[in-house]
Amino acid sequence: MASARAVAMFYLVVFVTFSFFPNHTWASRSRAAIEKDAVMEHCKFNIKKGVHWPFEPSHACCQVVTRSVNLLAICNAFTTADLAQINLPRWAAVTHSCGNALHEGDNCAGYIVHF
């Protein structure tokens, strides 16, 4: 009887513990949104529309790009307002220049990457 109660208590503790962890999809979107905001801040002079494009991305921009686990998630996190401000081919070129490139054929917010 005591062992059945202990097993039930164990499963209850496990259930409660895991119910507090965010699911993987939510955590991934949150990380992508954070990384996207960092891209918009640190890479803005490299990817902004209508501005002369500096060939070499800044060190801060490349740090954001190289630390990113999933560049396509960042692409999917770009909002309509972001897309109105940035040039996606430049974003793809920046990822390539920083050494953590989007792959040829990737669909980045509607832009198909070509290298």
pLDDT for the residue 9: 55
Q: What is the per-residue pLDDT across 7-31, written as a single tens digit (0 to 9) for each? A: 455 444 444 444 444 444 445 558 9
In this prediction the pTM is 0.72
Structure tokens at 38: 């960092």
Decide: helix, strand or coil at residue 86: strand
Question: Would you kindly state where each structural domain of the chain is located, as residue ranges?
Answer: 25-112
Q: What is the per-residue pLDDT across 50-88, written as a single tens digit (0 to 9) for each? A: 877 767 899 999 999 999 989 999 999 999 999 999 999
CATH dotted code for 25-112: 1.10.110
3, 70, 1: which is closest to 39 by C-alpha?
A: 70
Q: What is the per-residue pLDDT across 26-57, written as a single tens digit (0 to 9) for each? A: 455 589 999 999 999 999 999 999 877 767 89
Degrees, nearest 5: CA angle 27-32-36: 150
